Structure 1
Amino acid sequence: MTNHFSAILTACAGPVAIFTDFDGTLVEIAPRPDAIEVPDFLAGRLEALETALGGAFAIVTGRTIDNIDGFLSSHPFSVSGSHGAEQRHQGETRPASSGHATAAAKLSRILSDHFDGDERILVEPKPAGVAVHYRAAPERGGDVQAAMDHALKSATDFHAIGGKKVIEARPRGTDKGAAIATLMQNPPFRGRTPVFIGDDVTDEDGFRTVNAMDGVTVKVGPGPSAAKFRLPDIAAVYDLLETLAERTPEHGEDTRLKEARQ
């Protein structure tokens, strides 16, 4: 799997539905989730892409919908948040289930109590899960895994998945692949070729699902992956999304896309 920009474009020859991860794909990863820097042009460029695709664009992320809105406040994009445990599409939001929310809150309390006093460890509560970030203390990865395993004994419907210096608990059956499959059943995604771009372990479910749908999967950066193609960095992702928007036949180049590039 090499960096094949032109091969990706060839694979996206027909009408496509584009799904992207957020951290590590649209923005650079930061030491803390709230410390990311979002380029001023990003929201406008994504909105232009969405318009060019007739609405067939969604962000599929471990972040919450509210969190994404805080960074991209100018437009209510379709978002599958918390790995798909909550979804917003065409302005309608489906929140996380009350049962998952209650269990997630309990997990958050257990883990917050366990790591109380270590400011290097960030426990991030989510509507249907909890993430424990240890980027500032990589040597504590084993401790974080052990604490998560212990906490999950009180929530058998949840399981843990690792990422880039983070371990996250989420409901079983909730993953980015299932989120994409759900969106693909609805217009304007239905009937298009799915394209999923991501960078981390949590994106592999999405890659496998999209591969099974004969779609296009793109891994950003190094590391083993089920993705069919690879891009070297986020700058290349921006170039790809812009190129796909410009060449979309059913809408052509939207005025907002021209403005976003200026």
Structure 2
Amino acid sequence: MANDLPLRPPPPLLDDACALFLDVDGTLVGFAEHPSAVALAPDVRAAIARLSDRLDGALALVSGRPLGQLDALFSPLRLPAAGLHGHQLRHADGRSHDAHGDQANADWLRAVREQAERFASSHPGILIEDKGASLALHWRTAPDAAAEVRAFAERHVRGNSGYRLQPGDHVIEFVPIGSDKGRALRMMMQQAPFRGRLPVFIGDDLTDEYGFEAANAQHGWSVLVGERESSAAVFQLPDVDAVHGWLLENAWSSAANPTSTSTSTKKEMHAP
């Protein structure tokens, strides 16, 4: 459900009783022409590691990227993570869960990829990203092709009961039905060290709305990065740099714990 109230900045200090869920692209790193071109700032990586320790490991990445890409981007950290919009899950104890699809859907997606590659060959600037269980069509360097890319995707997903379309920032993706960031958050919240904590979800894109709604439903809070006309988020940070600043402030503040958080801030952190 969209939040009709004006969004405000999140509380400056994160309560140690929270669990932190972080989107990656558009939240921790800016967008690039190719997904492989991004890099995580070392001080942000260090802040995430420190926050993970402070939260007893209750910090997870929730991304449309596959787990292998997340591990490469955040190396040497190996965090609990949801990849491919929750199709892949890795829990804090290292156990991984990959929701395997059936062969018919795998064959169908392979055929769509082949057609998408032919489509891209006649539309310079369109990037086809094969993620294995999902397929993304990017048009960041070909903004005039947006309508054609969407039409291609809508035409090819029609009639398939195993996949849905997930729009994003200059991208549309074929995603397995049942996989979304909200489901990933709910599954992680059932496991230690997340269980019993208040979820905090930070993200920027339409894909993150599922996470916002799931966090709100568990009496946690949600933070939109950037602007959107309608969002389920309760709080807002203006851009990636602001996310970095918030993380760094929390990582190095000695006051960020339940006993030192003011009563007014606690009420704000528990806002629906």
* CA offset digits 1:105-147 (Å, max 9, x no partner): 3332231222224341001111321110001111111111111
Mind listing any 5+ residue stretches in structure 1 that lack a counterpart?
Answer: 253-262
Q: Would you say the 8 A contact 2:198–2:220 is kept in 1?
A: yes
Structure 1 residue 154, shift from structure 2 partner: 6.0
Helix, strand or coil for the counterpart of 1:38? coil
1:97 has 2:105 as partner:
no
- Paired position in structure 2 for 1:45: 47
- Paired position in structure 1 for 2:68: 66
Percent sequence identity is 35
Matches of 2:111 and 2:98, distance apart in 1: 18
Structure 1 residue 103, shift from structure 2 partner: 4.4
- Paired position in structure 2 for 1:34: 36
1:106 has 2:93 as partner:
no
Helix, strand or coil for the counterpart of 2:158? helix
> Where in structure 2 are the equivalents of 1:112-261 lying within 5 Å?
112-153=117-158, 155-224=160-229, 225-245=231-251, 246=253, 247-249=255-257
Matched to 1:236, the amino acid is A
> Where in structure 2 are the equivalents of 1:4-43 lying within 5 Å?
4-5=9-10, 8-9=11-12, 12-13=14-15, 15-43=17-45
Structure 1 residue 98, shift from structure 2 partner: 4.1
Helix, strand or coil for the counterpart of 1:226? coil
Matched to 1:204, the amino acid is E
Mind listing any 5+ residue stretches in structure 2 that lack a counterpart?
Answer: 1-5, 261-272
Matched to 1:230, the amino acid is Q
Greater Cα offset, 23-32 or 104-113: 104-113
Displacement over 6 Å in runs of 4+: none
Q: Would you say the 8 A contact 1:176–1:205 is kept in 2?
A: yes
Matches of 2:213 and 2:101, distance apart in 1: 29
Q: Would you say the 8 A contact 1:177–1:206 is kept in 2?
A: yes
Helix, strand or coil for the counterpart of 2:20? strand
Matches of 1:111 and 1:96, distance apart in 2: 24
Matches of 2:109 and 2:188, distance apart in 1: 24
Matches of 2:15 and 2:59, distance apart in 1: 16
* CA offset digits 1:72-113 (Å, max 9, x no partner): 121111110000000112222222414265544333223122
Matches of 2:207 and 2:85, distance apart in 1: 8
Shift in CA distance, 60/103, structure 1 to aligned 2, threshold 3 Å: farther
CA RMSD of aligned residues (A): 2.1
User: How many residues were matched structurally?
Assistant: 248
* CA offset digits 1:134-190 (Å, max 9, x no partner): 011111111111111122136321111211110111011211001101000001000
Greater Cα offset, 180-189 or 167-176: 167-176
Matches of 2:7 and 2:237, distance apart in 1: 8
Shift in CA distance, 212/51, structure 1 to aligned 2, threshold 3 Å: same
